[in-house]
């Protein structure tokens, strides 16, 4: 496993409107930029000028994409990390609190200590090929799902084998009811239990 110099690894905690970043072991001394075009250009310029080995950030469900693309365009090595792995790493280091500064520090330390690969931006042609292959794959998935459903139907025991006939539809008893749980999901509740 390759260990990087912690003073040259930057951790970025990306949110909807801000990107907080800090360097290495003491990433708590952080700076924050707004994730608009001007803010990302300033961040990319600052990190490209600095002597940075790697910039790491967690996947945040899409908020990281503009930051990734801006840093990749500035030729800065960027790694995209799984948030769960960073969280477990931070816990193993004894960090229980969750603040932006601590997140930056955990991300930077995780990237420095583990063997993470730099993110590579896809070209427009590669993006089209990937989307085309995903769309081509969908009919196969639908056929497989239909096959599994028909196989399950065939695997049900017939009435002569002790199974229910298709016409039999057991009605719920009066002591049973549908209810909506606090998570607004319909669940079955049998009051006889």
In sequence order, the 6+-apart residues with CB closer than 8 A to the CB of 192 are 173, 175, 176
Work out the pLDDT band at 176, boundaries 50, 70, 90: very low
Beta-strand ranges (E) seen in 15-106 are 18-23, 31-34, 54-58, 78-81
Report if residue 102 sits inside a domain: yes
Report if residue 23 sits inside a domain: yes
Work out the pLDDT band at 28, boundaries 50, 70, 90: low
Report if residue 170 sits inside a domain: no
Decide if pLDDT at 84 tops 90: yes
Work out the pLDDT band at 188, boundaries 50, 70, 90: very low
Domain residue limits at 85? 6-113
Here the CATH number for the domain that contains residue 12 is: 3.30.420.10
Instruction: Name the domain count of the chain.
Output: 1
Report if residue 21 sits inside a domain: yes
* CA distances to 9, 20, 30, 94 from 91, in Å: 20, 20, 21, 5
Report if residue 191 sits inside a domain: no
In sequence order, the 6+-apart residues with CB closer than 8 A to the CB of 179 are 186, 187, 189
Beta-strand ranges (E) seen in the chain are 9-14, 18-23, 31-34, 54-58, 78-81, 176-180, 186-190
Report if residue 142 sits inside a domain: no
Report if residue 101 sits inside a domain: yes
More confident residue, 140 or 128: 140
Which residues are bridge partners to 60 per DSSP?
none
Q: How many helices (H) and strands (E) does the chain have?
A: 5, 7
Distance CA 102, CA 95 (A): 8
Decide if pLDDT at 147 tops 80: yes
This prediction's pTM = 0.60
Report if residue 159 sits inside a domain: no
Distance CA 45, CA 33 (A): 12
Which residues are bridge partners to 14 per DSSP?
19
């Amino acid at each position: 496993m390759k260990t990087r110099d912690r003073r040259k690894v930057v951790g970025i905690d990306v949110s909807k409107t801000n990107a907080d970043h800090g360097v290495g072991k003491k990433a708590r001394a952080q700076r924050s930029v707004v994730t608009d075009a001007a803010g990302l250009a300033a961040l990319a310029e600052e990190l490209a000028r600095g002597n940075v080995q790697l910039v790491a950030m967690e996947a945040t469900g899409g908020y990281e994409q503009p930051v990734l693309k801006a840093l990749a365009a500035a030729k800065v090595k960027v790694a995209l990390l799984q948030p769960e792995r960073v969280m477990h790493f931070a816990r193993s280091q004894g960090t229980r609190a969750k603040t932006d500064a601590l997140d930056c520090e955990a991300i930077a330390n995780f990237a420095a200590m583990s063997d993470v690969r730099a993110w590579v931006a896809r070209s427009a042609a590669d993006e089209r090929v990937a989307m085309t292959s995903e769309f081509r794959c969908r009919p196969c998935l639908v056929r497989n799902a239909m096959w599994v459903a028909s196989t399950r139907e065939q695997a049900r025991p017939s009435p002569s084998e002790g199974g229910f006939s298709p016409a039999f539809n057991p009605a719920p008893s009066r002591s049973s009811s549908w209810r909506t749980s606090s998570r607004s999901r319909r669940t079955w509740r049998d009051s006889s239990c």
